[in-house]
Amino acid sequence: MLKKGLQDHLNPEREKKLVFLSARVHPGESPASFICQGVIDFLVSQHPVAQILRDHVIFKIVPMLNPDGVYLGNYRCSLMGFDLNRHWQDPSPWAHPTLHAVKQLIVQMNQDPRVSLEFYIDVHAHSTMLNGFMYGNVFEDEERVQRQAVFPRLLCQNAPDFSFSNTSFNQDVVKAGTGRRFLGGLLDDTSYCYTLEVSFYSYMTAGSTAPVPYTEETYTKLGRNVARTFLDYYKLNNLIKDNRPIHIESSEVMSQTSNVNRKGNGFGRDAADREKEKSMGIRH
């Protein structure tokens, strides 16, 4: 565990929150790039939520952890034939240069008293399950378990294609070398590490009877909703002048408009989601 000194916690400059996102560690999982693009496009836009987030949160984004594998058209491995998402524990600067560099950067930022590294989210695509969902870690501290469930629950409220009922928290031995598992054990108890998965194929919304095929636009929309959810998580909604925006359309981002979409729908949380939240003791 990397422990920060008491003086770091008392330093007012440390109030700046830091969120680290990475994507495309598996080169064949192209939906991850569209999600990452949605996050980036939104955060650099003039949307009022994006402006508030830039003022209060630092976002570090590595959109492609495996560029050589992508260039070669590999599905899972790098140029050297490695599954990079199994080498976080001891990456080689020669064999896994991107992973080594990113790990060093994360360690440095975690030791920086001026920031609080609170999230690491690694974006993937899933070949069998529907919707977007997350994997999280397992902790002995029940309070930390409950806090870890907060972000995916909020994302479920904002994104109609995100499923909290598909979200799970595990300690699978074969995943020990992944970014989520390794960094979850390395960072302190104020940090949360997730794998964000999205289906290669389709999603289902509450009350629907047929899956809806994903498109580039719906992938990027999920990315926008991931970014927007940090407004809820950090309780910055009071900085929005009118009613808080629930969903963010691409036209709002691309046109740089300051208009806020005030309409939300009931999708994103179905009966299974609510039942799972109830069993975990999560209150709305």
Both tokens of residue 254? 């691309």
- The Cα–Cα gap between 272 and 276 comes to 6
Half-sphere exposure of 37 (CA within 13 A, CB side): 12
d(CA 93, CA 101): 7
Task: Tell me which DSSP letter residue 4 carries.
Answer: P
Query: Where would I find the beta strands (DSSP E) of the chain?
Result: 16-23, 57-62, 115-123, 132-136, 168-169, 192-198, 202-203, 212-213
CA atoms 162, 168, 171, 173: torsion sign: negative
- DSSP character at residue 146: H
Active-site positions read: 197
Contact 183, 120 (CB under 8 A): yes
Q: Which residues contact 235 (CB under 8 A, 6 or more apart)?
A: none
Orientation of helix 216-233 relative to helix 31-43, angle to 10°: 50
The answer to whether the Cα torsion of 128, 131, 135, 140 is positive or negative is: negative
Query: Contact 240/131 with Cβ under 8 angstroms?
Result: no
CA dist 17 and 22 (Å) reads: 17
Residues linked to residue 16 through DSSP beta bridges, in sequence order: 115
